Amino acid sequence: MDEFNTEMIKSLMQTDPAAAAACIKEYLEKKNNTPLNIAITGESGAGKSTFINYFRGMTNNDEGAAPTGCTETTFESSPYPHPKYPNVVLWDLPGIGTTTFPADEYLKKMGFEKFDFFIIISDTRFRENDVKLAKAIQKMEKKFYFVRSKIDSDLQNEKRGKKNFNEEETLKKIREYCIHGLQKEGFESPQVFLISSFDLHLYDFPLLHETLDRELPEHKRRALLMAMPNINLEVINKKKKSLQSQIKYYASSSAAGAAVPVPGLSIAVDLTLIVSAITTFVVGLRLDVKSLRKLAHSTGVPVADLIEVITSSLAAVEITPALVMKCLGQLGSVVALMAGEEVSRFIPIIGIPLAMGLSFAGTYKSLNHILDMLAEDAQRVFKRALGLNSSV
């Protein structure tokens, strides 16, 4: 929220708390629903659909997954919204080699202006059509990224029958081969990201995320971050910071609710806000049951083993007001703030401002405490899923 809006909210808090709460809610909804449209293109069989599915936290067999293993028969782009963040949409574009259009005409037909960036995928080397498309995207002043897919298969094939197999050397060879081919086509310093869609935490996918995070406009970064799978501990920490930055707005809404002198109303408002916030935390950190089951399926670690390392009572369960109230009851300082808020509301003149301040402090403190616990759980789950014992 910019300085002008912040001052406006402060003013509304004093004159019309309900309007202030409505403005805060509108702001959060707008921020959490920033559209991000990602175009995925490449020749048929390059691994576009698998990339789209696993980026969305799905497998190729899930309902709503992009179809794999079939020949392209359409010249239209197909949208695949993220199941948890529908504002993030991955678009499967037909390979330009399957059309008769020149690259610039192809992009116009696909509606290039709606895409925030393009990912050009190849499972071998980048061919003439990939290069033509990249140059056309560049000409239209959009960002594009070369992704070399199916690296896991390449490494397995290279390893088979070799006594002195060296993974780093093999990856270097594949990368240099792709870069050399692109340089021959006129790209001076191309960057190629090597990935395995089945294991996004490996190889260059974390580097791809870092690059996108650096080059995207600030208001688009959060949309990408929250839709991103937990590929490493750094991503989990970034998600925590992003979620933490919103706590002050939940707390401000709580303060607005405290301005109404009705017994018990503020606590009811606070619980509703806290349930909403915690649900957002749990989903963002991938601690909901559905996400844990997906993680168990993809890593082969039993879901019971993942749940075993969770210490918070708010992860892997349905978040309800009763559960939240029970959790808050264990935080003595928060209980004291809530009790003080109820009493102070009825003090003449200073009561309402005091109640608003206590309500803000109680919600702010409780949400920070809960987010800390959930972020630590997300890290433990990630380490358990990958068999890690260190903090690296």
For 291-314, the pLDDT digits (tens) are 999 999 889 999 999 999 999 999
Query: In CATH, which of 3.40.50.1470, 3.10.20.600, 3.90.1580.10, 3.40.50.300 is domain 36-229?
Result: 3.40.50.300
Neighbours of 390 (CB within 10 A): 6
Ranges of residues in the chain with a pLDDT under 50 are 1-4, 264-265, 339, 390-392
149: which 2 tokens? 């897919």
pLDDT of residue 390: 42
The residue type of 149 is: S
Q: Do the strands 78-81 and 36-41 form a parallel or antiparallel pair, or are they unpaired?
A: unpaired
Distance from chain centroid for Cα 356: 33
Annotated domain spans of the chain: 3-32+237-386, 36-229
Give per-residue pLDDT as tens, 95-136: 887 777 888 999 999 999 999 999 999 999 898 889 999 999
Nearest to 325 by CA among 362, 289, 372: 362
Which residue's structure tokens are 């949409």?
89
Give per-residue pLDDT as tens, 134-164: 999 999 999 999 999 999 999 999 888 788 8
Grouping H, G, I as helix, E, B as strand and the rest as coil, residue 38 is strand
pLDDT of residue 168: 93
User: What letter does residue 257 receive in the DSSP assignment?
Assistant: H
Burial of 312 (0-12, 13-18, 19+ CB in 10 A): buried
Q: Rounded to whole angstroms, how far apart are CA atoms 103 and 265?
A: 60
pTM over 0.75: yes
Q: Rounded to whole angstroms, how far apart are CA atoms 215 and 355?
A: 44
**Phi and psi (nearest 5°) for 89?**
-125, 130
